[in-house]
A and B are shown apart, each in its own frame.
Chain A
Amino acid sequence: MATNTAVDVVMPQMGVSVSEGTITKWSKNVGDTIEADETLLEISTDKVDTEVPSPASGVVSEILVQEGETVEVGTVLARIGGEHSAAAAPPPPEPATQPAAEEAAAAATEGQEATPEPEPPAQPAQPAVPGNGKAFVSPVVARIAAEHGIDPSQVPGTGTGGRVTKKDIVAFVESGAAQPQAPAPAAAPQPAPTQAPPPASPPTAAPVPAAAGTSAEPQAPRPTPVGAQGETLEPMSAMRRGIAEHMRRSLDTSAHVTSAIEVDMTRVVQIREKLKKEYQSAYGVNPTYLAFIARATVETLRDYPWVNGELRGDQIVTRNYVNLGFAVELADGKGLIVPNLKNAETLNLLGMAKGIADVARRARDKQLTPDDVAGGSFTITNPGGYGTFHGTPVISQPQAGILGTYAIVKRPWVITDGNGADAIAIRSMMNLTLTYDHRLVDGAYAGRFLRDLRERLQGWSETDY
């Protein structure tokens, strides 16, 4: 269905805590025709990278946010169909037919919180305010406003959509309606009568009283870091900022302790070799070591609920399910994401292998949904593919632990045969680490968890799935 009225495409709410997103790629240009649900753009948030489908069929009439820009949830990104005039105010959303516009209005009203029930559409009484809640102020109006200490939103506007024109603000100034606003309260207690140095804190952005003249500087610009010779500066992606914030917060929150254990994976290696052909021909899936480890981990977590738990305020949360997260590196190496398999305790080895392959593929293809990354209860990270044999991963908050799996290598190992005689054998060995939050999990508890996990892997029977 093509549309006569323009339909807004807004920055979607990709999870409750997500407040902004970055446009990574526009799949269509202005003037292109698009079908409903066809991919219009790709976005990156601190939770997921995903494609945004078009809410309607029609011609892309406007693209309002360019690639690389980061905007708040609810910001109008583009318009489909309708008039091509950028100046025209969007028509008031019709609840029955314009869910996208309605969401935009609701999101703009409600700020960053997701609203399960769409709010009534914004009143059309103030068409000058676009979806981001900010009225456009032209450069000359901004300058005159700053010179006279006027809030432009207090000036009656006669321009397009109620915009304040230069004439409006000049008339406002000449009418004497502009009252200089009270200066900001002094930051320091009584300044010394002599010429004291200015307070260390930067001045607030309070409007300058008109009496102060026009030379007063506006708020000091934020210093931009400057690269030295040979350095290159690039802005952080939304995902990188999210990772940076999360890692720092996790280390500030949990008391990280890491324990390691050596596991003889020889039986798993043998069983995997047998299952590989069958799994691949019958199901098209590779029974990876990670699937075995995940399967054994879920079983072991049943006996160690605090490792699968959470500290929530003064309460200890335990669960009768495991939402098992997997750290997935993105294809471009520029980030990682931790989707989780819901109710992993219900999956057998085949289900686990399929589930892991599915979320890993969708993570790399930017097809994850917010649900995929929300609600994890325990995480496995697998840096062993590169040969590392030890690490101290950071816990994905608010979980209580993270399992690290490392390279499987053949090593000489002392084993005891059935007669109690020791011998040196060549075994496929792997290190596992459990990094746990010592606020909740003690060392002995963690040690027993690792021991039981090792026993499960070493004692894997062909009939265990």
Chain B
Amino acid sequence: MGMTIAEKILAKKSGRAKVSPGDLVTVEVDTVVVMDNNFMPSQWRDVLEVRDPERIVVAHDHRAPASTVASASAHVTGRKFVEKFGIKRFHDVGAQQGISHQLVADYGYALPGSVLICGDSHTCSAGVFNCIARGVGTPDIVYGCVTGTAWFKVGATVRYELTGRLPRAVTAKDAFLQIAGQYGDHATMNVEYGGSGIASLSINARKTLTTMSAELSAEFATFEADEALIEWVRARNPTPFEPVAPDPDAQYAAVREVDLSTLQPLVAFPDSVVGNSRPVADAAGVKIDQAFIGSCANGTLEDLTLAAEVLKGRQVATHTRLLITPASQIVYREAARSGILSILADAGAVVTPATCGACGGGSMGVLGPNETCITATTRNFKGRMGDPSARIFMGSPATVAASAIRGVITDPREFLK
């Protein structure tokens, strides 16, 4: 019996010929991404030795620039850690700042066939690069830095065969909401994306799917490799790598087809991402106080460009705030150079520096009591973005931009014909 992509990487990195669901394996970790939350005084321990500083990346992303004294002290601790071990791949507040998962894409840190861990739950984002990547806790991060290893329980894999091409104004976010709405959570299981339809999806669009797979509670979310992916990584990282394909007789818990051409704009209603998707029409007309585009799921240049396409020559409604947070300063600077930022700002959007920011209720756009927000980010749990009485709807950047113009939840097809 063959293995899925995740199983093949877990087997190789644990030195076994084969792994099966239920096995517990200890694997070599190629990349450990440490972020500012890990350095919080309540979580971090002073590390006295690391296995290999070359394997470590440090990114101050959740609260950058620092929003409180606690987050500022986390940054101080992070800088000391970097200095102590001579870590070269360091993303502090500045030109190389960004959300860790976007930096992994921008700088090609995740090589196909490799293992990556990071202290944030949306780490499965990096699985877009045909690797296995998992969000872990701070103790795992410290353990990974010290030993260069991590333990994983092997889960069964669900495969999604994507076919067709997305219609106009329908995005990978809508494709994700379709999957999350129809199939619910995938707890303790891996998700594998492949099929003829992936060729029509950009790397950024695919990354929305892998990032959002954290909301499916997936262990690993991994894309099959193709030329576009290989070129993306080669353009950013000179290290050789070997892509991993599933065995032809790989065993899946389920194989499900998603025909992208049949999809429509969807929104997740407040408090849960899974099992909560409905057509935009079902929420149309709901008045919104805040609209937000950003995060590791929807802060790419492509997301900002789509929002600009909707907003060009139009204005954000007077009672509504539109906040846009690029996922990295590379994205921010490219958007500035190409004129996208001007279009967004002229329309009335407030563009913030690259950070996790309002997505996690950390800073720059926290919601007040009884406010309503529509967000193109990662998560809409009660209290996630501020006061627990606030309601958080989730949609694509196009849906959020269209809603910001009208001041009520709006189908983006009104603006993207």
User: Do A and B come from the same complex?
Assistant: no
Instruction: List chain A positions with a Cβ less than 8 A from chain B.
Output: none
